[in-house]
Amino acid sequence: MKKIMIIFAAMLSHLVGFYGVGQAMAQRTLPGMKSVEVKANMVDGFYTGSARNGGYSFGVYYSVFKGNNANEWTFGGEYLQTYKPYGESGRIPIADFTAEVGYNLHLFSNYSQFFHLYGGISALGGYETVNWGKTLLSDGATLHDSDAFIYGGAINVQADFYLSDRIALTANLKERFIFGNSTGHCRFSYGLGVRLMID
């Protein structure tokens, strides 16, 4: 019986360590903790190098956890590149450079805090360039869409998967609503990222 109790205690301690309960659990998403995250997303579909529509984006974000409920403020910048089909085989590049501030509400986490789910909103503003400012197209036609200062907002859902107390892989869905331009007002993106905790 004593041997069984020792084996049971050893198994329990192993499970506690495996699922990150205890000290490791307490070291994640604490109030005042900060993180830096790099994201890479597909935009408006699945992008390939020869795609005539769709696009991609890259972003860098700085976050601060507030309170004991793991909600967070985020501040960041993003470069977003999309394309519009033109003619039979051409495409016109559209690039957005935006700054963003948002608030993410913590929706769920499992007991070991390996998994966290957030939903958030943000405000953004920046600049959009169409065909890199060139109004004359290769076939001699004139492009009527022009560069513009843009503004708007976004809603997002993000899942964090902690590999350790300092590193998490992230997956996100995001819908941007852009105004001030003439090339379309909605941009849906999805992708992956890496989050590094920096205290």
Could you tell me which residues come within 8 angstroms of residue 151 by beta carbon, excluding any fewer than 6 positions away? 123, 124, 125, 126, 178, 179, 180
Decide if pLDDT at 6 tops 70. no
- Measured between alpha carbons, how far is 179 from 172 in angstroms, rounded to an integer? 23
Could you tell me which residues come within 8 angstroms of residue 132 by beta carbon, excluding any fewer than 6 positions away? 93, 95
Tell me the DSSP string of the chain. Answer: -HHHHHHHHHHHHHHHHHHTTTHHHHTSS-TT-EEEEEEEEEESS---TT-SSEEEEEEEEEEEEETTTTEEEEEEEEEEEEEEEETTTEEEEEEEEEEEEEEEEEEEE-TTSSEEEEEEEEEEEEEEEEGGG--B-TTSPBP----EEEEEEEEEEEEEEESSSSEEEEEEEEEEEEES-SS-SEEEEEEEEEEEE--
Decide if pLDDT at 9 tops 60. no
How many residues are present in the chain? 199
User: Could you tell me the two tokens for 158?
Assistant: 């993000």
Interstrand relation of 115-130 and 148-162 (parallel, antiparallel or unpaired) = antiparallel
Q: What is the pLDDT of residue 144?
A: 80
What is the identity of the amino acid at 33?
M
Burial 132-141 (b: 16+ CB within 10 A, else e): eeeeeeeeee
pTM of the complete model: 0.81
Q: What is the CA radius of gyration of the chain?
A: 22
Residue 21 pLDDT level (bands cut at 50, 70, 90): very low
What are 139-197's pLDDT values in tens digits?
778 888 889 999 999 999 999 999 999 999 999 999 999 999 988 899 999 999 999 99
Cβ–Cβ < 8 Å for 97, 65: no
What are 41-96's pLDDT values in tens digits?
999 988 887 778 889 999 999 999 987 888 999 999 999 999 988 877 788 999 99
Domains defined along the chain, listed by start: 27-197 (2.40.160.20)
